[in-house]
């Protein structure tokens, strides 16, 4: 699982099961929202929620090698997670 709870990041690898695991929140109380850009680049296949109903973590299944995930924090700040993979299965 890649921790992107503190800000922007770049993801370069998928896990053994061909998914990407992202931790969006530093705690279980306040989460974030996540948007894949473009929307067809990856599927959010599952998510874990925080106490406030927002998202703590997501599992993405990529369909292409490069895309972005916009993470909107409870503060209103938006961080960009860039995905740059070397081959998608």
| Residue of 27, 30, 18, 22 lying closest to 59 (CA atoms) | 22
**For the whole model, what pTM was predicted?**
0.92
pLDDT in tens, 58-72: 999 999 999 999 999
The radius of gyration of the chain from alpha carbons, rounded to an integer in Å, stands at 12
Q: How confident is the model at residue 86 (pLDDT cuts 50, 70, 90)?
A: confident
Instruction: Dump pLDDT digits (tens) for 25-57.
Output: 999 999 999 999 999 999 999 999 999 999 999
pLDDT of residue 88: 59
């Amino acid at each position: 699982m890649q921790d992107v709870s503190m800000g922007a990041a770049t993801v370069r690898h998928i896990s053994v099961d061909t998914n990407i695991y992202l931790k969006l929140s530093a705690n279980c109380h306040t989460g974030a929202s996540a948007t894949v850009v473009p929307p067809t680049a990856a599927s959010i296949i599952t998510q874990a929620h925080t106490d406030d109903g927002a998202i703590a973590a997501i599992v993405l299944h990529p369909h292409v090698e490069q895309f972005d995930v916009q993470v909107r924090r409870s503060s209103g700040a938006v961080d960009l997670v860039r995905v740059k993979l070397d081959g998608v299965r």
